[in-house]
């Protein structure tokens, strides 16, 4: 239906209805004038506000997205076959919210918070949390200084993430993006077992049902579902559900954050969410901008990611936080956090296209995964030269910071010389040494999927690499050496690992690590 015809309908309706003194009713009610593709245009609803939830006769819900002069545009939150032009739509006066509670842990829910795992309703007390909410103001935030350990050697040593940080995972298709996020969730098990859980929320956006089933199975098998919630909007769900799924995940994360606990949200992935948003925006006839995305796609992602924060400890102060939902008003505690790991898919490694640059600019760093590295067997396939963590460094534990300081530089120097050495020129012995050390470190930094390392084990093995203690061993034996070395430390030097875990690294510890490494490495010399 063309716009002209449509405003004509509106004006006719207006005229007809004014005769009946319906004017006041029209502020609360509307009439569907057009419906299709999950979008409804309605006449009336004069008092509706942006983001308001509206209800149709068959109980289908919608959300007001465009307020225009002669009509209101609404996206439907579920598919409905019954709705037709002429049907009534009514305001609810509410904004889009979901019910969140402790018993959501271990469950798979949809964007509306309804369980979809066939395990029955979510029991226990639930609290209404709004999907859209202002980010905590700067006075309610603390600097990021507590680690959010991923269990991935490469990341915890060189691109450390802190609680409250937003770290982007970016790369082409099939480069290991999801694996990094899932392994970070799996790694939180050790904190759950210590009674210091980090509550994890994995938001699957526009993925296939089978992929989500696979992910939930891995999390289940690794014992990670006890502290994890999966929010899923599959590619066959209504587009609106795919757009709002990350907001649901954030609302759940905020429940934990504002009740004084650490939470972690993974958005997998925001490129697909942006595509859904573009689809809806075109249907709403919003003016398309670059790559046909609406101009506010930037705002969509920034208002989502701004809600990640480390909240101040001061309880009384935290209670004054802006926009606290009524439902949790009595439970507010300071010290909580929400860490975000958004994922973005690139095309042919191009991080300078529209959506990737947008999200890079609103995060505190990025982990860039490269196809070539992945295919050459370097996994996780992180390109260290353009991967950074802008705030996490101060969140690293002392012992890790002490031993990993030179690693990034060493590896950068190695990469540079490596590409240079490909030209086949004669290499002097110091260059050969750097190359060899770099190759050993590259081996040390490789890691299998779903096998996160305790921070102490990471420090112990990385120390061996940075100290160049494996000079003589053959490259293909590094992983065998590593296994035996860590096993040996666990058996004979548990106290060293405990110290490392507690941030302690001193002369005595370095001596033990060196002695053990040199002794064991003898076996692997060829
Ligand atoms: P997609 O673009 O399809 O979402 P992705 O970038 O999220 O892919 P993953 O699904 O994490 O990538 O991984 C792709 C494949 O690579 C999987 O089969 C996974 O098991 C494997 N893989 C990921 N990380 C590693 C690793 N560190 N070592 C070995 N294999 C890995
Ligand atoms: Mg993936």
pLDDT tens digits for 224-268?
A: 999 999 999 999 999 999 999 999 999 999 999 999 999 999 999
Distance CA 466, CA 445 (A): 11
What is the tally of structural domains in the chain?
3
Query: Going by CA atoms, what residue is nearest to atom 17 of ligand 1?
Result: 176
Number of the ligand 1 atom closest to the C-alpha atom of 269: 4
Show the tokens assigned to 318. Answer: 């935290």
Number of the ligand 1 atom closest to the C-alpha atom of 179: 11
Q: Are 491 and 483 in contact (CB under 8 A)?
A: no
Residues 331 and 280 in one domain: yes
CA 178 to centroid of ligand 1, rounded, Å: 7
Q: Which of 396, 416, 447 is the last residue of a domain?
A: 396
What CATH number does the domain containing 371 carry? 3.40.50.300
Residues 311 and 451 in one domain: no
* pLDDT range class, residue 16, cuts 50, 70, 90: low
* pLDDT range class, residue 18, cuts 50, 70, 90: low
**Where are any strands of DSSP class E within 438-517?**
none
Distance CA 61, CA 241 (A): 12
Give the residues across from 89 on adjacent strands: 30
Is 4's pLDDT higher than 70?
A: no
Q: Which of 169, 178, 348 to mutate to test the pocket of ligand 1 (most atoms within 8 A of CB)?
A: 178
Q: Which of 235, 273, 449 to mutate to test the pocket of ligand 1 (most atoms within 8 A of CB)?
A: 449
Residues 210 and 141 in one domain: yes
CA 368 to centroid of ligand 1, rounded, Å: 14
100 occurs within a structural domain: no
Is 484's pLDDT higher than 90?
A: yes
Residues 78 and 115 in one domain: no
77 occurs within a structural domain: yes
102 occurs within a structural domain: no
Q: Which of 70, 95, 120 is the last residue of a domain?
A: 95
pLDDT at position 27 is 83
* pLDDT range class, residue 3, cuts 50, 70, 90: low
* pLDDT range class, residue 1, cuts 50, 70, 90: very low
Number of the ligand 1 atom closest to the C-alpha atom of 447: 27
pLDDT at position 264 is 98
Q: Which of 153, 154, 176, 186 to mutate to test the pocket of ligand 1 (most atoms within 8 A of CB)?
A: 176
Distance CA 77, CA 99 (A): 16
105 occurs within a structural domain: no
106 occurs within a structural domain: no
pLDDT tens by residue, 88-104: 999 999 999 999 999 99
Ligand 1 pocket list (CB less than 6 A): 171, 173-179, 345, 379-380, 447-449
φ/ψ (deg, to 5) at 283: -65, -30
**Where are any strands of DSSP class E within 286-392?**
309-310, 337-345, 365-369, 388-389
Distance CA 381, CA 446 (A): 9
Residues 392 and 406 in one domain: no
CB neighbours of residue 283 within 10 Å: 16
Per DSSP, helices labelled H in 297-428 are 297-305, 315-318, 354-361, 371-375, 398-404, 407-421
CA 416 to centroid of ligand 1, rounded, Å: 27
Which positions ≥6 away from 356 have C-beta within 8 Å? 170, 271, 344, 346, 350
Number of the ligand 1 atom closest to the C-alpha atom of 381: 27
* pLDDT range class, residue 355, cuts 50, 70, 90: very high
Is 426's pLDDT higher than 80?
A: no
Distance CA 321, CA 332 (A): 9
Number of the ligand 1 atom closest to the C-alpha atom of 180: 11
What CATH number does the domain containing 427 carry? 1.20.150.20
481 occurs within a structural domain: yes
Q: Which of 153, 172, 173, 179 to mutate to test the pocket of ligand 1 (most atoms within 8 A of CB)?
A: 179
pLDDT at position 118 is 96
Query: Going by CA atoms, what residue is nearest to atom 21 of ligand 1?
Result: 176
Residues 408 and 367 in one domain: no
Residues 137 and 177 in one domain: yes
Query: Going by CA atoms, what residue is nearest to atom 24 of ligand 1?
Result: 176
Q: Which of 361, 380, 396 is the last residue of a domain?
A: 396
CA 268 to centroid of ligand 2, rounded, Å: 7
Q: What is the mean pLDDT of the chain?
A: 93
Buried residues in 400-420 as b, exposed as e (16+ CB within 10 A): bbbbbeebbebbeebeebeee
Q: How far is CA 217 from CA 174, 210, 246, in A?
A: 19, 11, 21
Q: Which of 141, 190, 390, 401 is labelled catalytic?
A: 390
pLDDT at position 153 is 98
What average pLDDT does the segment 371-381 reach?
97
Show the tokens assigned to 492. Answer: 């004979």
Query: Any idea which of 7-11, 164-168, 430-434, 451-455 has the lowest mean pLDDT?
Result: 7-11
CA 371 to centroid of ligand 2, rounded, Å: 13
What average pLDDT does the segment 160-170 reach?
97
What average pLDDT does the segment 142-148 reach?
95
Number of the ligand 1 atom closest to the C-alpha atom of 369: 6
Highest mean pLDDT of the ranges 281-290, 335-344, 401-410:
335-344
φ/ψ (deg, to 5) at 53: -85, 135
Domain with 41 in it: 6-95
Show the tokens assigned to 335. Answer: 């010290």
Is the bond preceding 186 in cis, omega lying within 30 degrees of 0? no
DSSP letters spanning 44-102: E-TT--TTEEEE-TTS-EEEEEEE-SS-EEEEESS--SS--TT-EEEEEEEE-EEEE-G
CA 247 to centroid of ligand 2, rounded, Å: 19
The share of the chain scoring above pLDDT 90, in percent, equals 83
Number of the ligand 1 atom closest to the C-alpha atom of 345: 2
Is 107's pLDDT higher than 70?
A: yes
DSSP tag of 264? E
Residues 74 and 170 in one domain: no
CA 177 to centroid of ligand 2, rounded, Å: 5
Query: Any idea which of 21-35, 194-208, 390-404, 458-472 has the lowest mean pLDDT?
Result: 21-35
What average pLDDT does the segment 457-470 reach?
96
Query: Going by CA atoms, what residue is nearest to atom 30 of ligand 1?
Result: 449
Residues 233 and 195 in one domain: yes
Residues 23 and 43 in one domain: yes
CA 358 to centroid of ligand 2, rounded, Å: 20
What CATH number does the domain containing 53 carry? 2.40.30.20
Residues 144 and 38 in one domain: no
Query: Any idea which of 150-154, 309-313, 521-525 has the lowest mean pLDDT?
Result: 521-525
Residues 289 and 380 in one domain: yes
Is-catalytic flag, 401? Answer: no
What average pLDDT does the segment 336-350 reach?
97
* pLDDT range class, residue 378, cuts 50, 70, 90: very high
């Amino acid at each position: 239906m063309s716009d002209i015809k449509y405003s004509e309908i509106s004006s006719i309706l207006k005229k007809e209805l004014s005769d009946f003194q319906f004017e006041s009713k029209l502020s609360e009610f509307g009439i569907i004038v057009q419906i299709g593709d999950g979008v409804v245009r309605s006449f009336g609803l004069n008092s509706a506000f942006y983001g308001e939830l509206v209800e149709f006769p068959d109980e289908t819900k919608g959300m007001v997205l465009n307020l225009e002069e002669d009509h209101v545009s609404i996206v439907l939150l579920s598919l409905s076959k019954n709705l037709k032009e002429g049907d009534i739509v009514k305001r609810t006066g509410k904004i889009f919210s979901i019910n969140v509670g402790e018993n959501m842990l271990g469950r798979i829910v949809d964007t509306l918070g309804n369980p979809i795992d066939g395990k029955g309703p979510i029991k226990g007390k639930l609290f209404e949390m709004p999907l859209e909410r202002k980010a905590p103001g700067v006075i309610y935030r603390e600097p990021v200084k507590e680690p959010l350990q991923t269990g991935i050697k490469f990341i915890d040593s060189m691109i450390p993430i802190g609680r409250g940080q937003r770290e982007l995972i970016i790369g082409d298709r099939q480069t290991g993006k999801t694996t990094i996020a899932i392994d970070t969730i799996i790694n939180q098990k050790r904190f759950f077992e210590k009674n210091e859980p980090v509550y994890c929320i994995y938001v699957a956006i526009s993925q296939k049902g089978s992929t989500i089933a696979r992910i939930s199975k891995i999390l289940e098998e690794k014992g990670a579902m006890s502290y994890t919630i999966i929010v899923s909007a599959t590619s066959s769900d209504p587009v609106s559900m795919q757009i709002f799924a990350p907001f649901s995940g954030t609302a759940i994360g905020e429940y934990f954050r504002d009740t004084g606990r650490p939470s972690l949200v993974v958005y997998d992935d925001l490129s697909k969410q942006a595509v859904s948003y573009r689809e809806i925006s075109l249907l709403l006839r919003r003016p398309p901008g670059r790559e046909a995305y609406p101009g506010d796609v930037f705002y969509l992602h920034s208002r989502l990611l701004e809600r990640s924060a480390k909240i101040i400890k001061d309880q009384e102060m935290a209670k004054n936080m802006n926009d606290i939902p009524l439902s949790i008003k009595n439970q507010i505690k300071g010290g909580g956090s929400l860490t975000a790991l958004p994922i973005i898919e690139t095309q042919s490694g191009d991080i300078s296209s529209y959506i990737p640059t947008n999200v890079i600019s609103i995060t505190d760093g990025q982990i860039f995964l490269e196809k070539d590295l992945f295919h050459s067997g370097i996994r996780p396939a992180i390109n260290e030269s353009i991967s950074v963590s802008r705030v996490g460094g101060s969140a690293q534990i002392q012992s890790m910071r002490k031993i990993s300081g030179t690693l990034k530089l060493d590896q950068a120097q190695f990469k540079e010389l490596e590409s240079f050495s490909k030209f086949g020129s004669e290499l002097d012995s110091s260059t050969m040494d750097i190359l060899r050390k770099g190759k050993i470190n590259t081996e040390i930094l490789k890691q299998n999927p779903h096998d996160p390392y305790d921070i102490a084990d990471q420090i112990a093995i990385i120390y061996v690499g940075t100290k160049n203690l494996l000079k003589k061993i053959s490259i293909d034996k590094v992983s065998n050496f590593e296994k035996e070395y860590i096993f040996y430390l666990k058996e004979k030097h548990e106290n060293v690992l405990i110290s490392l875990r507690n941030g302690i690294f001193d002369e005595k510890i370095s001596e033990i690590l060196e002695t053990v490494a040199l002794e064991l490495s003898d076996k692997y010399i060829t």
